Amino acid sequence: MNTTPVQPCVLIVDDERFNINLLVDLLKENYRTLVAKNGEQALKRAAGDPRPDLVLLDIMMPEMDGYEVCRRLKADPTTQRIPVIFVTAITDSGNEAKGFELGAVDYITKPISPVVVKARVQTHLENQQARALLEERADGLERQVIERTRELALMQDATIFSMAALAETRDPETGNHIHRTQHYVRILAERLRDHPRFRQHLDDHSIYLLFKSAPLHDIGKVGVPDHILLKPGKLTDEEFELMKLHTVYGRDVILAAEKTLAKSGLVGESGSFLRFAREIAYGHQEKWDGSGYPQGLKGEAIPVSARLMAVADVYDALISKRVYKPAFPHDKAARIIREGAGAHFDPDVVAAFDEAETLFQEIAARYAD
């Protein structure tokens, strides 16, 4: 098996045979060489196989001068990364500046010095190899980051649904509630993203985080006793006070997770995501007129995320069978939502619900229990 490393390839472009022979003889011991006698040949050789690793380019050539050759090489994605060194008798600084502007990496003046030519060629080839190695490693790292990010996102999603499912298993009749409400919230957010009152709160990233955090809205139910959570009849005042604590339990669980991430330095997007989750868990039972719980917040004081979930959660509860009620048809549930505008719900969120009513029905059918 031949393990001899492949020599770098240098393309020599000059319209004078003497100059070509001189450079070939100078470089042939350490490099493979290609030659071109004019600009058109140079462009074909540069884009062909083998692809040169460096170009030594004369400027003063008939038909197409070296500047134009360099411009075209740098304009072609297949050749733009090949280093170009001008080899010329022109010593004017203005011409050198023009060459560098076109993308050349160096100038060698004629008559050439063999030592200078060898040193410049070696230096720029080593630079090119080092750059290629760094780019290859950067690409590899980028791929690793993308893959790791994807894995973390999948782990995050799995954790979210595991936590949410833990709460939902306390009430076997809730079925696909977390999936339906998650999609309802996203639809409402997308309808409101350009609304003057919501524009600053709802961009693509925020809507993405809302979608991911919505399943945790009832995580606090894990702290509610079964005899209250699953009671088929009306709750007593005392029992209802205990039920209301699920919003506090949910906030506390998520707040504890936020503090753990903060201590470990892993805040970033997870912190933003958990902030939305905490807002929703703690605030989705608040009402627009201030009669909700746990804080009795009113109007704009209620976080946008919680206002969206309030409509999504109530609608889904209405169309779903519960231990204390049968499933309502869509029309009845939609009417109750509309009647709650300005009292239970933000009127603009209800307006968004009206616009997306058909989509709500489609989601309910797609994720039916």
Query: Residue 151, exposed/middle/buried by CB under 10 A (0-12, 13-18, 19+)?
Result: exposed
Query: Residue 111, exposed/middle/buried by CB under 10 A (0-12, 13-18, 19+)?
Result: exposed
Residues 79-118: tens digit of each pLDDT: 999 999 999 887 777 778 888 999 999 999 888 899 999 9
Q: Which residues of 75-98 are buried (b: 16+ CB within 10 A; e: fewer)?
A: eeeebeebbbbbbbebeeeeebeb
Concatenated DSSP letters of 54-89: EEEE-S--SSS-HHHHHHHHHHSTTTTTS-EEEEES
Q: What's residue 13's pLDDT?
A: 96
**Which stretches of the chain drop beneath a pLDDT of 50?**
1, 269-270
Query: How far is residue 224 CA from its own chain's centroid?
Result: 38
- For the chain, how far is it from start to end, CA to CA, in angstroms? 65
Q: Is 1.10.3210.10 the CATH classification of the domain at 169-366?
A: yes
Concatenated DSSP letters of 9-21: EEEEE-S-HHHHH
Sequence-distant (6+) residues with CB within 8 A of 314 are: 336, 337, 340, 344, 345
Spatial contact of 146 and 52, defined as CB atoms under 8 Å apart: no
Sequence-distant (6+) residues with CB within 8 A of 155 are: none
Q: What's residue 254's pLDDT?
A: 84
Q: What's residue 336's pLDDT?
A: 97
Residues 207-234: tens digit of each pLDDT: 998 998 888 888 888 788 888 887 888 8
Spatial contact of 325 and 201, defined as CB atoms under 8 Å apart: no
**Among candidate residues 14, 49, 53, 4, the one with its CA nearest the CA of residue 31:** 53
**Among candidate residues 56, 59, 69, 61, the one with its CA nearest the CA of residue 24:** 56
Domain boundaries, the chain: 9-138, 169-366
Positive or negative: CA dihedral 58, 63, 69, 71:
positive
Of the options 3.40.710.10, 3.40.50.720, 1.10.3720.10, 3.40.50.2300, the CATH number for the domain spanning 9-138 = 3.40.50.2300
C-alpha distances in Å from residue 169, one per residue of 21, 91, 242, 251, 260: 83, 82, 19, 19, 26
Alpha-helix runs per DSSP H in the chain:
17-27, 39-47, 66-75, 93-102, 114-168, 177-192, 204-213, 226-229, 237-244, 246-264, 268-283, 304-319, 330-339, 347-355, 357-366
Q: What's residue 149's pLDDT?
A: 56
Instruction: Give the C-alpha separation, 77 to 231, whole Å.
Output: 69
Question: What's at 98, amino acid-wise?
Answer: K
**Among candidate residues 259, 257, 148, 272, the one with its CA nearest the CA of residue 209:** 272
Concatenated DSSP letters of 100-152: HHHT--EEEESSPPHHHHHHHHHHHHHHHHHHHHHHHHHHHHHHHHHHHHHHH
**Among candidate residues 270, 269, 173, 253, the one with its CA nearest the CA of residue 218:** 253
Q: What's residue 1's pLDDT?
A: 47
